[in-house]
Amino acid sequence: MDNRLKFGLSQGALLAGVGLVCGVLSGFVGLLVADGAEPVANAIATLYLVLVLLCPALLAFWTWASLDDEDRVHYRSLSGAIGLLLVGSLLGSVAGTLFFMVTAINMPVIFSGENNLDLRLALMAAIGWSRSLLVVAVTVATSVVLAFWAYRRVASQP
């Protein structure tokens, strides 16, 4: 497997891990609310928007940190940098969303006895496609900007 693809997949795994951790924390908030499917879903949906900030911020931090070590070779060509960051951001934001949903739904269901189907439907209605696509779109757009920035920074150094 190409090193650039491995690097992009590891970025995606980081973003998926962020979704998992945020889902666990949202699940705990759902446990605290635990007053029916609608209030739990609304509390979890509010916390879902944290991914809009965390995913691009961690992608930016990873890119910035990788410019000072041997990983900078991944950003020597603009097309390579864009491809690398697009793979990481797209896979990571989608996987992060899925991990968030699974953990945030299952924690209140398992530990407080919320109805699984009611909570799933309420949470999907509360989050909707617009918020899910917002997380993916902001993360992908940030990755393109980061690719240009990283390419220019690597190209300007000897």
| pTM across the whole model | 0.88
Domain count, the chain: 1
pLDDT tens, position by position, 115-124: 889 989 999 9
Report pLDDT for 112. Answer: 82
Question: For residues 12 and 98, is the Cβ–Cβ distance under 8 A?
Answer: no
Per-residue confidence band for 74, with pLDDT thresholds at 50, 70 and 90: confident
Domain that holds residue 85: 3-155
